[in-house]
Amino acid sequence: MQAPLLASVFIVASCGLAYELIAGALASYLLGDSVTQFSTVIGAYLFAMGIGSWLSKHVAAASVSELLLRFIQIELLVGLLGGLSAGLLFLLFTLHAGPFRFALYGLVLLIGILVGLEIPLIMRILKSEVEFKDLVAKVLSFDYIGALAVSLLFPLLLAPHLGLVRSALLFGLLNALVAAWALWLFRERIGRLAALRAQCAVVIGLLLLAFGFAGQFVSLAEANLYNEDIVHAESSAYQRIVVTKYRDETRLYLNHNLQFSSRDEYRYHEALVHPGLASLPGARRVLVLGGGDGMAVREILKYPQVESIVLVDLDPRMTELFAQSTLLRDLNANALASPKLKIVNVDALQWLEASQEIFDFVVADFPDPSNHSLGKLYSTAFYRLLKQHVAETGRIVVQATSPLYARQSYWTVVATLEAAGWQTAPYHALVPSFGEWGYILAGRRDYRPPETIPVATRFVTPDALPALFHFPADMARVAAEPNRLDNQNLVRIFEREWGRVQAH
């Protein structure tokens, strides 16, 4: 029976790591700052596994049969709790975000303790058949191989294609099937067969039922979260993409954070593009970093002198969706189909490192720096690298969160650009869906506002421009340190400031 139990080690190790990854991913999706969430979840989970391993010595058993019985029951409990964990946490977040963090760590600790019990019990079962030195080597080898397998499968296949809720249910089923397999293999050595079979059947049945209805469950939970009709929802390899519609208003959410509303997105994108591009009548080549929805490209295409645009967005599903959906193509005026446009789906920093192209105008329209993978795109290293791709007379514009709600975050971005050698011209605009929003123009020379806006606009006009560059007292500059790759202080500041806003 040595081989089947070692195979079980491989499976339970895979499942144990999967629950850890799913909890960390869900926390980073819903709470932001992926480094903090993964670090604290992994730490709590490993601590709980240590408790489970210590508790395993108190699992009294007079025989191998009793150990097998306890192992099967623990597998069923791990499968049920782990399998339902993502769905329960997501539902809780949509109903009331307050207790989510408490429930998250409570479940992580409980599942971790149960997972910590598994391997010691298997080793106790196997010790009569395998020498100790071989036992430890074999069990730990299969344990580590299982962890490797799921660490590769989770980001490449499971999370983008199954989603977090179904992935958790899949691994819960694997735990329950290990229990059923062990029950069948050792049926002649285990008592209470009828009760155990019933327990296995109930757990497997519940998990299969939940797996079958997971799609409907997520849709209902998200409908409760957004209070709008969801017209498109999917998990890409990088983020959760949700498009909603209420009457004549369309909204885009990424990882449950609002990105734009069709009612006022023109204010955001006109303010992003026109103060800079209208001041560069000679601009021919334009680079857009982020902005996979095509709205910034729409505004740039209004300038007939622009000959080419390169759009670099990490997520191919974003650019595909906004190029194919009739509803969304209407919003961006089918900008992503323009013959002037080249779309590149790759990390912006990696693309800049590999490219030799020079541009007259660059739009950095990244999501807010809510985690370290985004924070690197607001760092001195990134802005120095970007400088190598901007013409001597060229200019960049950076969306830089709200100078009202995240005042220090905004001025940290300004300080970061200046530390990278740019001359900055900070400004802001009122976008009702977000409130006061901040932007920063930067170049090698002082910025002079254009006397005219040579294209059709609804919000940004020559008369309105001076007010955009004036900051009242509650948004005026504050002391701030640059955001550097090795510390990413901006992510911590952003999380603290927006956390206060959300708390109110």
Active-site positions? 365
Which of helix, strand or coil describes residue 453?
coil
Q: Among 29, 20, 81, 84, which Cα is nearest to 48's?
A: 20
CA pair distance 437, 406, nearest whole angstrom: 10
| Residues whose CB falls within 8 Å of the CB of residue 427, separated by 6 or more in sequence, listed in order | 271, 275, 438, 439, 440, 441, 468, 469
Strand intervals (E) in 229-325? 229-235, 240-246, 249-254, 257-261, 285-290, 308-312
CA pair distance 318, 241, nearest whole angstrom: 8
Residue in the block written with tokens 């910590």: 116
Strand partners, 278: none
Contact by Cβ (8 Å): 272, 363: yes
CA pair distance 487, 483, nearest whole angstrom: 7
Contact by Cβ (8 Å): 217, 165: yes
Strand partners, 361: 286, 395
For residue 203 the two structure tokens come to: 């757990």
Strand partners, 242: 233, 253
Q: Among 68, 72, 87, which Cα is nearest to 177's?
A: 72
CA pair distance 127, 5, nearest whole angstrom: 12
Q: Among 419, 417, 407, which Cα is nearest to 479's?
A: 407
Contact by Cβ (8 Å): 392, 401: no
CA pair distance 411, 426, nearest whole angstrom: 9
For residue 426 the two structure tokens come to: 């900070």
CA pair distance 286, 124, nearest whole angstrom: 65
Alpha-carbon distances of 258 from 251, 274, 295, 433, 483, rounded to whole Å: 7, 23, 15, 9, 24
